[in-house]
Structure 1
Amino acid sequence: MNKPVQNCLLCDRELHQNIGWKELLLKTLPQTICTRCEQRFQRIEQQQKEGVVSLFHYNEAMKDYLHRYKFLHDILLAKVFNKVIHEHLKDDTRLIVPIPMHPENLKLRTFAHIDELLKAANIPFAHHLTKLSNEQQSLKTREERLKTPQLFEVINPNAIKDKNLLIVDDIYTTGTTLNHAKKALLEAGAKTVDGFTLIHG
């Protein structure tokens, strides 16, 4: 998954990578997009919001990226943010818990997009939640999202009892998904539960 990419994954421009002893020694992840594409994404300065850290704003470049990655099923694009996700989570001591997909939705997409982001970033994780509904939150209004019944169930409460967890999702909008996951995990015995998303919408 971490072989050097020769061309930018977003615009196909040739990448000029200088991989020296320092990069090999530190096992840094390879560059996957060009500087021009990188600059189109807007980093968030004030990251923390209600126990959730988000890295990027939901601008036009990010909308295009998400569309290509999630809905055009371009799994290679999981590598686009590998370095920034790796740098942010590599030293985290909490259990990393990705937001799961409903089995029916997973069949349609063919890959779990949160899992692939974490794999590309070399971040270990474990599934402790199952998704109860296959409804897409992105198709609901804000009011409908806030009224959504519990979306998740904990797989094995003993595995998370008294543990510190970090839930990972792609985008934070109303916070419904993360709040449901947090509530389920805390009620099942988790000590603390925080959130991390690539994007804040």
Structure 2
Amino acid sequence: MSECLLCLQPIVSTATWKGLLGLEKEKEICQHCSKNFQRADIKGKDDVLDSITSLYAYNEAMQDYLHQFKFLQDVALATVFADELRSHLTGNVTIVPIPMHPEKKRERTFAHIDELLTAARIPFIHLLEKTDNGSMGEKTKQQRLAMKPLFTIKSGTTIRPETYLLVDDIYTTGTTLRHAAIALKQAGATRIEAVTLIRAGR
């Protein structure tokens, strides 16, 4: 019997033929923890992003998940939302994770968006480099509006006139995603879509 990655309690599962034949995927979290996550399924767009989809609301359970995954470096938690991400990251598009600043990556020891995509078996490519090491949540609206571009195109990279899909963990103000979309569009992309695991606020 496996343990829940969040509460460490045994996961009680109902016996099925698929399970007996080894065809059913083992669950990473228990039913109780799973119920604590609140679906949002928010879709929208703005003047830069041609579409933006956020899957879950930023409630207490999701806050605890992000803290354990990102800040306590529990990389195993990357698998928890693999199925949901895989079902939304489909189609003939190039998947581009929002990168971490190199200093932040050294501090955290791993790139959490890369881990989420790898756990979901989704191919991706790094096209962007982050130029600012600050957190958007720590900046005022005036500071965000006055910011220099957050991203540059990776050296030696060619951006083709096609659709690119940005992936990030959380949408708060949209500043990060818009900066990434602007960089790609200025380099030649024709359409920029985005998917985030979480939406903080509406």
Q: Quick check: TM above 0.5? A: yes
Residues 23-62 of structure 1 correspond to what in structure 2 (within 5 A)?
A: 30-45=26-41, 47-50=42-45, 51-62=51-62
Q: Is the 8 A contact 1:157 1:189 kept in 2?
A: no
The 1:69–1:149 alpha-carbon spacing in structure 2 relative to 1, beyond 3 Å, is same
CA–CA distance in structure 1, aligned partners of residues 29 and 168 of structure 2: 22
CA–CA distance in structure 1, aligned partners of residues 5 and 156 of structure 2: 39
CA–CA distance in structure 1, aligned partners of residues 20 and 124 of structure 2: 27
Shift of 1:29: 5.3
Per the alignment, in what secondary structure is the counterpart of residue 165 of structure 1? Answer: strand
CA–CA distance in structure 2, aligned partners of residues 60 and 88 of structure 1: 24
CA–CA distance in structure 1, aligned partners of residues 36 and 104 of structure 2: 30
TM-score normalised over the length of structure 1: 0.87
Per the alignment, in what secondary structure is the counterpart of residue 170 of structure 1? Answer: strand
Shift of 1:21: 7.6
Per the alignment, in what secondary structure is the counterpart of residue 31 of structure 1? Answer: coil
Name the residue aligned to 1:199.
198
Per the alignment, in what secondary structure is the counterpart of residue 68 of structure 1? Answer: helix
Q: Is the 8 A contact 2:171 2:196 kept in 1?
A: yes
Name the residue aligned to 1:164.
163
Per the alignment, in what secondary structure is the counterpart of residue 10 of structure 1? Answer: coil
Q: Is the 8 A contact 1:146 1:174 kept in 2?
A: no
Name the residue aligned to 1:176.
175
Q: Give structure 2 stretches of 5+ with no counterpart.
A: 46-50
Task: Confirm or deny that 1:82 pairs with 2:82.
Answer: yes
Query: Which runs of structure 1 show a deviation greater than 3 angstroms over 4 or more consecutive aligned residues?
Result: 16-19, 21-25, 156-159
Q: Which sits farther off after the overlay, 67-76 or 53-62? A: 67-76
The 1:193–1:29 alpha-carbon spacing in structure 2 relative to 1, beyond 3 Å, is farther
Identity within the alignment, %: 46
The 1:158–1:106 alpha-carbon spacing in structure 2 relative to 1, beyond 3 Å, is closer
Shift of 1:23: 8.9
CA–CA distance in structure 2, aligned partners of residues 76 and 14 of structure 1: 16
TM-score normalised over the length of structure 2: 0.87
Q: What are the Cα deviations for residues 76-121 of structure 1, in whole angstroms up to 9, with x where unaligned?
A: 11111112112222x3221000000111110000000000011111
- Number of residue pairs aligned between Structure 1 and Structure 2: 193
